[in-house]
Structure 1
Amino acid sequence: MTENEISSKNIGAAIEVHKQLGPGLLESSYEKCLAFELIQQGLEIKTQVAVPVIYKGNKLEVGYRLDILVEEKVIIEVKTVSELAPIHKAQLLTYLKLTGIKLGLLINFNSIKLIDGVKRVANNL
């Protein structure tokens, strides 16, 4: 399955979660429900994946965790903010660079229409 196919399934699952719950809950609630939806679709996921920083050739565990990794190919960062800010995109892009993954999705569940809160971020290795 390609990154784009995975991305499409991820967005569909997020829309389903948003339809069921609406905006206004904590990130952790949406993350758990989205993980459930993705598993129901038969996708392999990992949640709260540690992302080490490589500094001068040394792998340092500094506490970074990405929300959901899907099929080892797409990172999903779940947000519940009034609007996505440039720092959110920068955070996801950093995770993409640190992991070598090409595609990520920022999903802001605190949107009236979820599709307005979805941003694709590409790592142009």
Structure 2
Amino acid sequence: MSDLDHKPGVKEVNLVSHRLKLADVSEQAATTLVDEVDQLFGMDRVAFDAPTSCLFFAYDATHCSLDKVEEVIRQQGARLDDGWWNRLKCSYYRFVDQNMKDNEAHEPHCCNKAPRK
């Protein structure tokens, strides 16, 4: 795949895919939730599985983050499931998001050059 296979603003090297279980989601809220999350800049794809109440989404971690997705989820009257596995995944996803943003902003230094002052 190349960057042209994704939505504008999404680079494949920065693409992360997540799966989170939601609570308190009605069918009507689920469709508007998917539409709202899909409109975030850097979001590549979003899907909701009603029988398991799981939200699947993929985004460019340099432009979007789990916190932005969680904000949209709360605006729609839903919330993330309180289970320990879901909380652990959220913590890991936040770590990955921050790590990718830091790596994107990092300017590498060549070993053959004189040190910067």
Flag the structure with more relative contact order, 1 or 2, with Cα contacts below 8 A and sequence separation at least 6: 2
